[in-house]
Amino acid sequence: MTERSLPADGASLEAPSAGRGRVSSGFGRYLFKHVSGAAVSLLLVLFSSFFIFRLIAGDPIDQLTKERPVSAEQRAAMRAELGLDRPLWQQFWDYIAGTLTMDLGESFQYRRPIFDLIVERLPATLLLSGTGMVLAVLLGFWIGTRSGWKQGSRFDKGHVATGLVLYSAPTFWLGMIVILIFARYLGLFPVNGMRSPSTPPDFWSQAVDIGHHLVLPVLTYTAVVYAGYLMIMRSSILDELGSDYLTTARAKGLRDDEVRQRHAVPNALLPTVTLVFLALGSVVNGSIVTETVFSWPGLGTLFVNSIFYPDRPVLQALFVLFSSSTILAVLCAEILYWFIDPRIRRS
């Protein structure tokens, strides 16, 4: 899944050398290795996004004019206005410098700075997929732990089957069903957007209204992704099941649930840390389909609109944003491993 590698047991057999000094310089090296790795990945993302969207999006002027008759002079003027008449290397340089200084250019579609567009829509996305992701991870890990621990039980079979059905269901289809049941028939929740225009402007009314709108998208989103975390945690627990240290824990007289929570779960969680951070990193782009189904005013709908337009600068910026948040999340996971996995400090 990542380039992280646990040291083999044999590699850490000899006794430790004393001294805190070596430990901290070890951390320095570890940090440098992973930060520089992440920096290289970020640069690659930056380079490739510039060229990919130039290759696949076609001539922006054609798209902007949309087959309306325009004269050659008008086209040239538009080109100059958008900065497309300058040599490629200069455009590339502007793009790199701009991205690094948070000046992401202007959207073709909205004729506004992309940075403003993103800042405007980011909170809605974070709210929806952040909430959904946290719920999915907690739910998936909770069920996965118990499923794996009692492998083959009715609890296990039932939850794995349910989870996989939801996991394999297309998001838009599941969203439609959720809308049908909870909005059409039961009339419990709104299905469009993030707030109703009629809500009074005070904080509490607004919060309740947003919460009300949030229920169905979050439900859909969680239902689709939690099974992934369930299966990961389940197999991670299964890997621990026959371990000798669990026999030791049982021999000491611990109850079954104490053996599970105190010994099996901490060991089983270790390999899932990267995954959880990957999930956090994908929070910004994690809910594209859900946002579209529920017309949620977040980055996902912005992304879909920009594809249809096609709004190349916006796509380019979102691509960089989505990729870099994943890269940074993985970097955080690597750094965290230093602190939670005592074995890494020895390698």
d(CA 316, CA 48): 10
Kindly state whether residue 9 participates in binding other proteins, applying the rule CB under 8 A. Answer: yes
Number of neighbouring beta carbons within 10 Å of residue 326: 21
| Minimum distance, C-beta of residue 170 to other proteins, in the bound complex (Å) | 39
For position 252 contacting other proteins by CB under 8 A, the verdict is yes
Q: How far, in Å, CA of 279 to CA of 134, rounded?
A: 9
Task: Tell me how far apart the alpha carbons of residues 246 and 259 are, in angstroms, rounded to a whole number.
Answer: 7
**Number of chain residues interacting with other proteins (CB under 8 A):** 30
**Near other proteins by CB under 8 A: residue from 5, 154, 244, 308:** 244
Name residues contacting other proteins, limited to 12-71 (CB under 8 A).
12-16
What one-character DSSP code corresponds to residue 71? Answer: -
The pattern of x and - marking residues 259 through 298 that bind other proteins according to CB under 8 A reads ---xx--xx--x----------------------------
From residue 197 to residue 236, the character string flagging contacts with other proteins as x (rule: CB under 8 A) and all else as - is ----------------------------------------
Query: Which of these segments, 127-135, 221-229, 274-282, 337-345, binds other proteins (CB under 8 A)?
Result: 337-345
DSSP assignment letter at 199 = S
Q: Among 54, 150, 212, 250, which residue interacts with other proteins (rule: CB under 8 A)?
A: 250
Q: For other proteins, which residue of 254, 278, 335, 336 counts as binding (CB under 8 A)?
A: 254
Contact 279, 325 (CB under 8 A): no
C-alpha closest to that of 140 among 13, 15, 268:
268
> Is residue 2 at the binding interface for other proteins, with CB under 8 A as the rule?
no
Task: Give yes or no for a contact between 126 and 209, defined as CB atoms under 8 angstroms apart.
Answer: no
Report the C-alpha gap between 31 and 270 in whole angstroms: 19
Closer residue to other proteins in complex, CB, 9/67? 9
Interacting span for other proteins (CB under 8 A) from 192-200, 202-210, 252-260, 293-301: 252-260
What are phi and psi for residue 113, nearest 5 degrees?
-60, 135
Between CA 127 and CA 298 the distance in angstroms is 9
Distance CA 224, CA 326 (A): 20
Q: By the criterion CB under 8 A, which residues form the site for other proteins? A: 9, 12-16, 242-245, 247-255, 258, 262-263, 266-267, 270, 340-343, 346
